[in-house]
Amino acid sequence: MSIRAILIVSAVLFAPLAGAANTPPLSGAWSIVSTGTAASSGELLFRVTPSDGEGATEVTVFVLSGSNDMSVASNIRRALNSQLRADKFNVEPGQGANVLLTSQAKDFSLELIDSDVENVRVTVQSTTPVAPPTVPRQAAPANAPRPATPPAHGDALPPPAVTEPPANTSEPAVPPPDNGPPLPDASPPPNTPGGDGAPARAPPPPGG
């Protein structure tokens, strides 16, 4: 096979791959963010292409010199509303200088293909994943959690000491002293005159 034939075959084989690499991504929702203040008047040119590649629409946005990012976003929103079919696309204001463009049916691509407005930067990005994740969601972690490392020797804390209630050191109650006078003894002491057990005193003799 000649070198020319090899080059022709290679071009035929790799042409679809090159075309796929240049194909803009598809999404069901796009965000358009503008920054800066226009230093000159000019136009922004967008292209909206459905997923089947048919019926691409170019949207032209006119920007006046001195327009800030909020004014540029307002111009983009009005141009999209007036130049796209309302039964296929939704145009909504986002947060700040942000415009949201979504489709009511199928995914589409959105490109900024030209701009001659000085000092204005426009970013176009998808707000939904372009492709589903290739890794299925796992019900449990793939790797079991490692057990907790036991504390090193000497790091363990001793168990809390049990505090016993203090002993009852209070002295027993002392009865109050009896400060009253002692009671008299009713029985007379022995050998007391006139007492019990003593002889009765004899009366004195007469004339004595």
Q: What is the CATH number of the domain that holds 72?
A: 2.60.40
- Number of folded domains that form the chain: 1
pLDDT of 68? 96
Boundaries of domain holding 115 = 22-126
Is residue 158 assigned to a domain? no
The Cα–Cα gap between 35 and 121 comes to 5
Is residue 67 assigned to a domain? yes
Total residue length of the chain: 208
Counting residues of the chain whose pLDDT is more than 90, the rounded percentage is 40
Confidence at 138, pLDDT banded by 50, 70, 90: low
Is residue 104 assigned to a domain? yes
Q: What is the mean pLDDT of residues 182-207?
A: 56
pTM of the model: 0.53
Helix (H) or strand (E) holding 9: helix 3-22
Whole-number mean pLDDT of the chain?
A: 75
**Span 83-137, pLDDT tens digits:** 999 989 999 998 889 999 999 878 999 999 999 999 999 999 998 754 554 555 6
Dihedral sign for Cα 130, 134, 136, 142, please: negative
User: For residue 124, what are the contacts with CB-CB under 8 A and spacing of at least 6?
Assistant: 30, 31, 32, 46, 110, 111, 112
